Amino acid sequence: MFCEIPAELPQDKGIQHEIDLVPGTKYCVRRQWPLPRDQVKAIDDFFESRRQAGQVRESKSPHSAPTFCVKKSQGGWCIVHAYNKLNDGTILAQTPIPRKDVIIDSMVKSIIYSALDLRDGFYQILIHESDIALTAVSTPSGILWEWLVMPQGLKNAPATFNRCVTHLLRSVRDFAPSYFDDVFVHSRAVNGKPDVEVHKEHLRKLLGLMRKHKLYANLKKCIFGASEIPILGCLVGKNGVRPDPEKVRVINEWSTLSNVKELRQFLGLATYLCKYVENYAGKIRPLSQLLKKEAEWKWTAECQQAFDAVKQGLTEAPILAVADQDRPFHVVCDASDFAIGCALMQHDHEGRDRVVYYQSRQLKPAERNYPVHDKELLAMKYALAKFRVYLLGSGPFVVYADHITTSGLSTNPEG
């Protein structure tokens, strides 16, 4: 599992990669272009090693995609196929992608964690026999190869890989959910058995399945028996969920913005972390105004304050609790002249009030004209919609709003 992957054709894992073409698609051909000598050698060496492993063979296919090289950051070349034409003619597979929030929510009450990184997973999946000819690629040396295993670059390859891993590890998904090539193991004490022993048992079951199905992991990227592990841009541990410190550092070190492109880049990263920031939409309003088509770029003191407020909000972000469906929730709502916001909250086992999730959005032009009472109601409606997956079926919950006229809703049907 942690050794070098055998240079051989893998066993059939029950799922093969299929390429379904759009009706009417004929030949997917792009001409190979010349490359520098060192890249040609790298390509030839690559295909010779794959040929010896039984993963490619020479082809007579009417299809052909060119091959080229991309420089690796650590040196050497990454071999890439330009499957653009084939991908344009391929029907998109409607395979569900695992949701980050669902994975994290499954870890509630866990104490100890491990994370495994699967390696070269694409080459462990066979191409369906009828679709092998579609994978044909040319090289600058004038050889046409076709793949017997799933190469990088095919439109639905990530979906096939994720489906395969999910299928093979289905029996352990309660404590080892997967996200493409990442597998996260989480455990807690059960029936008097210590959490460490439970975790060892979970790892044994997972590694047994990996050994059975010949899934390989990159030992250098694996984490075992930790109190906290990185999961898709955040850190999850026994105390809750917090943003990745590296992403927060990048935002904090961002210098003052000078154009719309830089603003989009900044907001793209900041918005990814907005669940940790109270009233995020209200904080960024001066910045989002600069993104309007008719807006003239002018960095004002108000923009700088908003820029700094986002940085401060992420720096001071609380560690969010993992939602516990066995405990009651409560919701806090608020509305301002320009935005509405809400927080899903719970009391933990020590009675502390913990934030599970922040949500907010800016008001539409018509909504800004609402009276305060209606804005508060809009915030409540927004909160119930955003947090419905937690609130439905969880038992009674309390909604807190800061406008006195909303307190009579439960007793006055007229509003």
Which DSSP string do the residues of 53-70 spell out, in sequence order? TTSEEE---S-BB-EEEE
Encoded tokens for 203: 């790892």
The DSSP output letter for 296 is P
CATH of domain 242-315: 3.30.70
pLDDT score recorded for residue 9: 85
Q: Does domain 329-408 have CATH number 3.10.20.370?
A: yes
Tokens of 164: 């395969």
Q: Say which residues have a Cβ less than 8 Å from residue 149's Cβ, sequence separation at least 6.
A: 9, 10, 55, 122, 123, 124, 125, 126, 127
CB 148 within 8 A of CB 132: yes
Domains 100-121+158-239 and 329-408 alike in fold: no
Query: Residue 18: its pLDDT value, please?
Result: 97
pLDDT value, residue 411: 57
Q: Which residue ranges of the chain lie beneath pLDDT 70?
A: 1-7, 403-415
Which contiguous run of DSSP H or E holds residue 103?
helix 100-105
What pLDDT is recorded for position 174? 96
How many residues belong to the chain? 415
User: How far lies 52's CA from each of 56, 330, 341, 414, in Å?
Assistant: 8, 61, 60, 78
Domain ranges of the chain: 100-121+158-239, 242-315, 329-408
- The Cα 24–Cα 164 span in angstroms is 29
CATH number, domain 100-121+158-239, options 3.40.640.10, 3.30.390.30, 3.40.50.12140, 3.30.70.270? 3.30.70.270
